[in-house]
Structure formats: structure tokens, C-alpha cells
Structure 1
Amino acid sequence: MADNWRILDFTTFHGELRFVTKSSRLQSIASATGEITEHSLSDVNIIFVGIYVTLAPAVMYHCAKKDVVVLFCDWKGLPACSLYPWIDAHGRVAARQRAQAALSAPRSKNAWMRIVKAKVKGQTETLKYLNRPSASKLFELAGKVRSGDPTNVEAHAARTYWSVLFGDECFSRDPGAKDMGRNSLLDYGYTILRGHSMRAVLSAGLTPALGLYHKGRSNLFALADDLIEPFRPVVDLAVARLGADATVESREVKRILLQSTLVAFANDGLTVPSVMTDLAQQFGKYVEGEVEHFVVPIWDPKFSGEETQDEYGEV
């Protein structure tokens, strides 16, 4: 997979998007100035579209054809709905999906155990990188995860993790909170990660609604929500290093969060989207019985290319 993953952000853009068939490029035309900018879609992963953008259905068709995920955002710049390509990138998609549906409970629980362990270990590495306390406690908890995580070690680890991640700040993780602080920053970053994960699941020829742990009746991408878990600390680190007054309304803050999902994940140098794609492909082989064990990578911020400092500069 290519590592040239790009994200186009039009959440604050006022104007029109067009697709020029002759050049096979996306054009953005600013309403105020008439300025035209062209964008190649060949290395684009996700496009964010805001409420001040106009476009024709043909733009959506060409984005889908080129395997680009489009997220439509509200006035805050937070995604509200999406377009995902219906592609069959895997030659044995029917056989793979039948195998996925027939995955035994023991193998399903074992896969979830490995995901939770990798997530908690990634959280451990994040705390160590930021010189926060309780890293050893999280590492110990990771060793206690059993098949299916029956004692909910993931939740126990989360309580410890969130209590120290942002230093002395009194923080409570509340997904979907209406505040514009840390929770909104996390939600925004996780949405970008989810876009990468959805794309990876679809490209692997898997059924996205058939999850391991996430099984909500209305969740069309439960498997993507399972596979995203070990990657969440990537966003957590970026949010932790932003100032306490950082807000998702800031264009620079959003740029930082976008960039955080494109860094190297571990010492092999592969970026987050590439590692997600490889993980989804490996899960496909796991459900088909081609591999015995589902090996989940562990986030190591030392190789992310971030500066070793507690906070970003002024944003």
C-alpha cells in the first residue's frame, strides 16, 4: 500500500467542488475570489466537506470510483455523515465474508483479547512518552486481559489512563460531549481514524457490520470500530500535547489532529493508514484460517516523528 495518504479539508471552505474529467482532477473554486485550485485524488484517502461547499453528484461518483472516503461535516467541522466506496478489492470477497460470518466464538474472543491488549499497551507507551504516572499499572493490566476480556480490563485501564493523560487536569472522557475542549478534540481525531479503519475493512473484502465486540444493531461499521482500538492512542498523544485551551474550531488544531493520524505507527516506518490496511487484511486471513493467530501491532510514539516535548507550540 502507498504511504502517500492525504486528507483534503474543506470544512471552512466557501465555494464549489468540481471534477474535471479531462484532467481527472478535483477543482475547488473559491466563491469570494474565483481562485481555482486543483487536487489529484490518486493519493487522497479522506475528504472533509463543510456546509458552505456546493458540489454536483458527479463529484461523489468520481470520488467513489477513486476509492476516496468523503465525510460531510456540520458547522463545527465535525463529521455528520459519509460516503464510502463500494469496492471489491479482494478477489475472494464472498468466501471471505462467509468465513467471517462463521467465525467461531473462541477465535472471535481471542481476536478481541489481542486487540484490547494492544490498545492498553499502546496507552502504556503514550503515558511513558509523556512522562505521566501509572504506566506500570497499565502494563500490568494488559497482562491480565483474557479471551473475550470477560473482566473488562479495557474499562479498568481506561479509568486509570484518562485520569492521568492530561496531567493535573480534571478530565472525564465523554464521547459526543457538546463542549469544545478535550472531548471534542478526541472525537474529531477518532472520526478521522474511523475513516481510515472503514476504508481498510472495505478494501480487505470484509463485512463491516460483523464486529467482534461492537455489535450495535444500527452500526454498519462495527468491525471498523473493533480494529480502530489499538490506534486511538495516536490521537490521544496529539490531544495531550495541545494546550488546555485548544479548540476544534481552530484550523491549526484540526490540521494537527489530521496529521496525527498519518504518522509512523511503529519502528517499521509504516504510517497509521497503511498499518490499518495490513491489519484488516490479516484479519481476513485469520477468519479464513490462513493464519492461526491474529497479531495486532502496538503503538510506539518514539517512531512517530513527533518532537519529544509536552505541548505543541502556539496554535
Structure 2
Amino acid sequence: MAFRVVLIENEVTIKVKLNNLIVTKEGEDIWIPLDDISMIVLDNLSSMFSARLLCQLSEQGIGLMICNQKHLPTGYYSSYDNHSRASKVIGYQIEKSKEYYEQLWKDIVTVKIQNQSKAYLRLTSDQEGTRAIKEFSSEIINGDQSNREAHAAKVYFNLLMGTSFSRGNEDILLNSGLDYGYAVLRRYIARVCVGYGLNTQIGIHHKNEYNRFNLVDDLMEPLRPMIDIVAYESMKNEEYFTAEHRRQLVNILNMKILYRNKKMFVCNMIENYVEQFASLIMERCENIVFPDIDGFIVEELDGL
């Protein structure tokens, strides 16, 4: 199983040879086995690569995320269809009832809020605030029709950042980190969903007809606190959103988490998590083991 997420920040030439990715930087070649790579994040507009490389990446199910001149993820390239029974899986997605999805959404929101409370405790040691956030997880009804998710998020971010904090305010530094980290996470989950034959437009709760990633936006909700932890810890005393911050956020996928009693890379955990969802939809298992933020291990890692 591929486990490496490669971040390319410098002007390089990228090619493939003997089933290896070769990154040439200042005359030096860096060889990385393609079998080890799950996704490449290209954060340099001057880097050069070929159509042959794109073909090889799609054949091996390796995603390629492109960032613009502001270092923001703007595009994602992946294989068109690398699952032999995609139409069968989509059939199961379509056939599920509204009630089925509402129960599943309740489970997702419950875990998301619980993970937010754990992330908050980890970052602040505030027991009272942690209880206030976690309390919302016991009030959720099917489909979260009372919108406990939004109420919990407001309390969570206000306690963490102050009552003046707004997720829509581009002038707040932390929002830059959150947006970047969420975008990386979103693209990675999209890649994995395609690999398991899931149609990312058919969501559990998100139903926007203009959104190609409704399902991805549903599945990523319990994982968002991982981004919150790294963004907050690395940026809380900073004035600018730097390359080091971006490197740390991309490297979340290369960090470790305890999941299903095993210590694994976050990217491998996501594959396991999405595989369980596909199995659940196809009635091959009875439930999903959602990621627990308590098992998340933040590590310092280097990009290229």
C-alpha cells in the first residue's frame, strides 16, 4: 500500500524511469519508487513534467495536486476510473434510503464533535470548555436536523480563537492554514474514493448539485481536527503563512495515527476508513470504525 505524500516546493524537473519518480533538483536526482507514492503536491509553477508522467501516475492511482502562485491548491489530477466495478458500487450508493443516510450522518457528526472536543483539550487543557463542546455530541438526532454540528463548531472555534474569530475572515492567519490543510485532505480523500469505485457527487448529507465532492466533504468531517491541531500549533504565534506551515500541513498525511489498534500513516488510515465505507454501502460490513483524534501523532517531516 502506497504511504508517501511528496511535496515539491522548488523548481525541479520530474520524470519517470524504471517505475521510479525522478526529481532533478540543482543537478541532483532524487529517486522515489512509484509504488510508495500515494499523492504528489506540486507547489512550484516553474517545475517541468511530461504527459508520460501524467499517464504513469493515473495508471498507478497516484494523485497530483497543483498549487497556484499564492500556494493555494487549485487543481487535482487523478485516474479517470481505476475500479473494475464502479457502476456496481454507484448502484449501491443510489439505492440507499434517506433514513439510512440520515443515521450515518448522525454518526459522522457525533464523532466529529467528539474529536473537536479532544483536539481542544489537547491544545488548551481547558476541561470546562472541552465538556461544553462534547455536550453537543449527545444532542444529535438523525440527519442532525437541529444543526448541532454548526453550534459545536462555533463554540469550538470561539473558545480556541476568541469570539471575534470567523472562518470566513481571510485576514485571520489561522484560516489560511485551515483552508490549505482542508484542501489537501479533501483531494486525498477524493483520490481514495475513486479508487474504491465510489461516486464523489453522491453525498451522505452534502447534496449540492454544483459540488463534485459531496461524499468527500461528508467523509472528511471527523478528520478535520487533525488539520486544526497542526495549523493551530504551528501558526498560533506567527504573522505570516509560510512555506514551513504548508510543509507541515501536507505532511499530516505522512504522520502517524493509532487506528483499529494499529499504528499507521494517516494516508493509510484514510484508505482503510474509505474502504470500510465502501464495504458498508455494499453491505459487506455492519459499521465503520471512525478515526479517533487521541491517536494522532504530530511529527516533523521534510518535503523536497
User: What is the TM-score normalised by the length of structure 2?
Assistant: 0.88
- Which of 44, 49, 52 is the equivalent residue of 1:58? 52
- Which of 196, 203, 213 is the equivalent residue of 1:211? 203
Give the secondary structure class of the aligned counterpart of 1:139.
helix
TM-superposed deviation, 1:169: 8.2
Give the counterpart letter for 1:70 in structure 2. Answer: L
| Aligned pairs for 1:171-182 within 5 A | 171-174=165-168, 178-179=170-171, 181-182=173-174
Give the counterpart letter for 1:57 in structure 2. Answer: A
Against the structure 1 CA distance between its residues 306 and 19, is the aligned structure 2 distance closer, same or farther, given a 3 Å change threshold?
closer
- Which of 72, 75, 79 is the equivalent residue of 1:81? 75
| Aligned pairs for 1:75-224 within 5 A | 75-89=69-83, 92-130=85-123, 131-132=125-126, 133-166=128-161, 170-174=164-168, 178-179=170-171, 181-224=173-216
Give the counterpart letter for 2:94 in structure 1. Answer: A
TM-superposed deviation, 1:178: 4.2
TM-superposed deviation, 1:198: 1.0
Give the counterpart letter for 1:34 in structure 2. Answer: G
| Mapped contact 1:180–1:247 kept (Cα < 8 A) | no
| Mapped contact 2:114–2:137 kept (Cα < 8 A) | yes
Unaligned runs of 5+ in 1: none
Give the counterpart letter for 1:279 in structure 2. Answer: Y
RMSD of Structure 2 on Structure 1 (CA): 2.3
Give the secondary structure class of the aligned counterpart of 1:270.
strand
Alpha-carbon distance between aligned partners in 2 of 1:262 and 1:29, rounded to the nearest angstrom: 22
Alpha-carbon distance between aligned partners in 1 of 2:20 and 2:65, rounded to the nearest angstrom: 19
Name whichever of 248-257 and 96-105 sits farther off.
Answer: 248-257
Q: Which of the two has greater helix per residue?
A: 2
Q: 1:247-304, CA deviations, whole angstroms, 9 ceiling, x for partnerless residues?
A: 6752222222122233333352233222222222222222223334x43414233x32
Give the counterpart letter for 1:7 in structure 2. Answer: V
TM-superposed deviation, 1:242: 1.7
Alpha-carbon distance between aligned partners in 2 of 1:188 and 1:25, rounded to the nearest angstrom: 28
Alpha-carbon distance between aligned partners in 1 of 2:241 and 2:116, rounded to the nearest angstrom: 26
Matched, 1:42 2:45: no
Matched, 1:240 2:237: no
User: What is the TM-score normalised by the length of structure 1?
Assistant: 0.86
The residue aligned with 1:72 is: 66
TM-superposed deviation, 1:29: 2.5
Alpha-carbon distance between aligned partners in 2 of 1:277 and 1:298, rounded to the nearest angstrom: 12
Alpha-carbon distance between aligned partners in 1 of 2:134 and 2:72, rounded to the nearest angstrom: 33
Against the structure 1 CA distance between its residues 280 and 163, is the aligned structure 2 distance closer, same or farther, given a 3 Å change threshold?
same
| Mapped contact 1:110–1:148 kept (Cα < 8 A) | yes
